[in-house]
Amino acid sequence: MVGIDFSFSYRKLTIASLYVQNGCAFICSNKDRNCGNGDRCPPAGGAIVKAIEVACGKEAIVIGKPSILAFDIIREDHNLKSDLKYLMTGDNLETDIEFGHKNGMDTLLVLSGVTSAEML
């Protein structure tokens, strides 16, 4: 399972790549490129995922946003009815809003985080 790691290193990249090349499942929480807002957007877990993908030549399975699997799990865990309408609210076009689109939800983009009005 790959996610943000503040002590990520070449050694960890090598180990992860070798495990995936030898058949281990390659799963990540999300592929967010960065986090934060305004002029300061440091890299997020997606940067680490991409490094491992490039190193091993395989794409990670995303189990968080924007995965369809994530909403299936949420719906099942909370006994949500599939015939209801849902609204996904978020600040990131690539994860939050894409999650809503992939899962047939209406979406509401708030401009308080990663995505700015200029980016639209």
CATH code for the domain in which residue 27 is found? 3.40.50.1000
Same domain, 78 and 96: yes
Tell me the two tokens of residue 74: 């949420």
Distance between CA atoms of residues 46 and 6, nearest Å: 13
> Domain span at residue 80?
68-109
Cα separation, 110 vs 90, in Å, equals: 6
Question: Structure pTM?
Answer: 0.77
17-63: pLDDT as tens digits = 999 999 999 999 888 887 766 667 788 899 999 999 999 999 999 99
Instruction: Judge if 76 and 49 occupy the same domain.
Output: no
- Which whole-number Å values give the CA distances from 7 to 4, 48, 62, in the listed order? 9, 11, 22
Query: Alpha-carbon distance 92 to 64, whole Å?
Result: 14
- At 19 the three-state DSSP class reads helix
Domain total in the chain: 2
Question: What pLDDT is recorded for position 38?
Answer: 61
The verdict on residue 30 lying in a domain is yes
User: What gap in Å lies between CA 60 and CA 20, rounded to an integer?
Assistant: 10
